[in-house]
Structure formats: structure tokens, C-alpha cells
Amino acid sequence: MAAGVVSVPIPVPIDTYKLGFIGAGRIAESIAGGIVKSGALSASRIRTAHLGSSRKSAFESFGVKVFDRNVELPYLLSSTVPL
């Protein structure tokens, strides 16, 4: 940055935030559930993708939409456990 130039961050309105998880595992469930419970982001702005129906009900119980395909997610947060 040039001397004397001040950088001011431009806030992003919270009502534009969207979040998507690849995989509907327990880590994603914990993160999404905490976000919704804290009020940081409404469940209507969170999505996940998971092929099987086994995890679908866990997310739908707190209002998160579950898709069958990753390409349907607006934004992504990978919540996989490294091996």
C-alpha cells in the first residue's frame, strides 16, 4: 500500500451470505447446527449435498435444505476428515 493510503474494509450485508457443505456428515451437521442455533445465519441460507438419505433428516430437522448433487450448492465448505 502507498504511504498515506488507508484501506477501509467494505462490509458484506449478512442477508447476502450463503453457505454450502459437500457431504452431510457429523462435522458439517455440527457446524451448520451451531451457525443456525447462534443466529449467525438462517437455515434458509445453508445447503448441503448428500446422495444417501441417512443424513438428510438430521439437516432437515433444523431447516437446512439437502440436495442430491454438489453442483446445486451455491458456495462450499468442505467438511471432510483427512485420512
Question: How far apart are the C-alpha atoms of 55 and 6, rounded to whole Å?
Answer: 48
The topology under which CATH files domain 15-78 is Rossmann fold (3.40.50)
Report the alpha-carbon angle 79-80-83, nearest 5.
155
- What pLDDT sits at residue 39? 92
pLDDT attached to residue 29: 92
- pLDDT, residue 30, reads 93
The predicted model scores a pTM of 0.70
d(CA 32, CA 40): 10
- Tens-level pLDDT at each residue, the chain (83 residues): 567 788 887 777 777 888 888 888 898 899 999 999 999 899 999 988 888 777 888 899 989 989 888 877 776 666 666 66
Q: What's the one-letter identity of residue 74?
A: P
